[in-house]
Amino acid sequence: MYRLVFTQVLSRLDAETVHHVTIRLLRLLGMFPPLVRLLHRLLAPRAESLRVQAFGVHFASPFGLAAGFDKDAGCAEPLTALGFGYVEVGTITAHAQPGNPRPRLFRLPESRAIINRMGFNNAGAAAAAKRLRRVRHIPAVVGVNIGKTKIVPESEAARDYVDSARRLAPLADYLVVNVSSPNTPGLRDLQAVDRLRPLLSAVKEAAGRTPLLVKIAPDLADEDVDAVAELATDLGLAGVIATNTTISREGVASTEAGGLSGQPLKARSLEVLRRLRQKAGDRLTLVSVGGVEDVDDVWERLLAGATLVQGYTGLIYEGPLWPSRINRQLARRLRRHGYRSVGEIVGRTA
């Protein structure tokens, strides 16, 4: 049914308008806790085999929602109720900012992909903190993804990230430093290890006991991926999220500027995951994202060494029952292969 609605209605409307309407509907749903609890009972992962523990946090399922959907931390509970094992909100910046001019979000249905050049549009860390302080009516694991405010010069980037970390880390189950979006000028330059080390060190100190991860781009050279793995291990980070969107246009017809997500990113995201696992082993928790569409993709990422897996573009093309369906299929596959838990298959083909 959803695919018919998407093809006949949603695909004919402006992508960002549809997204904003969806967020408003989810927030409206969140205002009715009994409905949220009902959805959670119907759709949330229940199988014991899906439970995962990573960096001291317990997850109902390894499959979660990537950052970029809930930019202002306004609907983590309703999204959890749909079946995600965890929800990563953001990217949130220390100061509110409008993002880049519209249009800035484009669907590529023939490639099962999306291009965005949103530019970290959000209401800022203070507003997000206020929402994150709300009482949760269902168990929800919420990660917070932070980025650099556009108007802040690169020389002051560390201070800007630290401002966000101080406000948000105490309210997050884990914190992510995003230095890999292609839509903020100069941001990806911060992935160079000599610049990344002081930034991550400062944020780690500000984050305190909250687990800290770094999110990297798929466009990094292999040797730079290795360097980030070494740095993350050396600094004692909780893990690495691989990968963000790509600036490559291989396999798609569009030349729109921005970050490409979805199916065309699948192969490179998996390559980066395997390289990180080879370099870091199990010393880092690896979170794989990019081109994850179905249970086969989740299974492959787990085997390759990911403890957690994220999706986003698949939600756009598959609809609200997508996470619940993947969880059911993953639990069945574990049972069919004789595994008692997800942890038993993590890294088996690494």
Catalytic site positions: 181
d(CA 24, CA 70): 11
Give the separation between CA 52 and CA 58, rounded to whole angstroms: 6
Rounded CA separation 270/120 (Å): 25
The DSSP annotation for 69-105 comes to: SSTTS--HHHHHHTT-S-EEEEEE-SS-B--SPSP-E
Element (H, E) at 275: helix 266-280
Any residues with CB less than 8 A from the CB of 266 and at least 6 apart, and which? 290, 291, 292, 293, 297
DSSP state of 136: P
Going from the C-alpha of 120 to that of each of 101, 147, 165, 256, 276, the distances in angstroms are 12, 8, 16, 18, 27
